[in-house]
Amino acid sequence: MQAVRIRSLLLTLILALIIGAMPALAHPGHDTKPPEAKKAILLVSFGTSMPKAQAVFDGVDAAFKNAFPGVEIRWAFTSKTVRRIVAEKQGKTWLSPAEALAALKDQGYNKVIVQSLHVIPGAEFHDLVATVEGFKVMGGCFMVRLGMPLCSTTGDLKAVAAILKKSPPAKLAKGEAVVFMGHGTHHPAGVAYPAMAYILGRGHAPFYMGTVEGYPSLDDVVALLKAAKVKKAYLVPFMTVAGDHATNDMAGDEPDSWKSVINKAGIKTKCVLEPITTNPEIIAIYVGHAKAALQGGHH
């Protein structure tokens, strides 16, 4: 009985030693010192098929190159539809996150931060989590970590709200307000939008938050604007790209656009087709999230 117990103890010890030695075995030729880190940051956006709206990616790219000298900066786009349109109509090859990660692994990058450029940790982000987890289990020399979206914590929401409030599209006169249009989602992370509405102004003038596909709705915002006797509202996308939603759902001439619905309520509008990612302070939050991931803070 005793001998069996000792034997199984010994076996466990030997197994532990073998497992402990495995990282070294995984780097042939580097038994003593670890391989040199070849770092890359993969920026991941939903993408947009509107060529004009794509210009915003250049600013984000430049800011990341500036913040991470010597680190390879690459891009991937999560929307299959957008990738297809961009390939067919603009002749550009945009990679999916899995394709871009496979290329980086193939090219010998061994420390990769996947930085989500999403606004909230919603469905798109969670698809990305699954992809990154898949690359994590490959193990070996390939280390991959995920940087969180813009509004991932209450601290993020407060920081973003403070930036939005101090940089309105114009000097606001009495009776003027700013309405931010978020995307909205059925995903549990959609709670970020009512939280943002609360932090921005607790539902009072001059800062309001609504969403295209979630809560708060446009009707919710119109009711608040009316109650506060707002005369003129600046409409601003709370999105990283001023693409189809901003151009059509917000600023379009159709009777159900935000502009038309708010006008119909007797309130003047001015549409500002600037995405939040043209603001350097917003980009700085994404950069901060990538730095946290690089240092092993998140995921």
Annotated catalytic sites, by residue?
183
HSE, side-chain direction, 13 A CA sphere, residue 224: 23
Query: 217: helix, coil or strand?
Result: coil
Q: Are 85 and 120 in contact (CB under 8 A)?
A: no
Provide long-range contacts, Cβ within 8 A and 24+ apart, for 201-207: 204/228, 205/177, 205/230, 206/168, 206/172, 206/176, 206/177, 206/178, 206/230, 207/164, 207/165, 207/168, 207/177, 207/178, 207/180
Helices 55-67, 280-294: inter-axial angle, 10-degree rounding: 50
Q: What's the first-to-final CA gap in the chain, in angstroms?
A: 44
Query: 79: helix, coil or strand?
Result: coil
Rounded-to-integer distance, Cα 200 and Cα 267, Å: 21
Other CB atoms within 10 Å distance of the CB of residue 76: 24
For 201, the enclosing helix (H) or strand (E) is helix 192-201
**Cis peptide bond prior to 275, omega within 30° of 0:** no
Rounded-to-integer distance, Cα 47 and Cα 42, Å: 14
The pair of three-digit structure tokens given for residue 250, joined into one six-digit string: 């917000």
* DSSP states of 102-145: HHHHHTT--EEEEEE--SSSSHHHHHHHHHHHHHHTT-TT-EEE
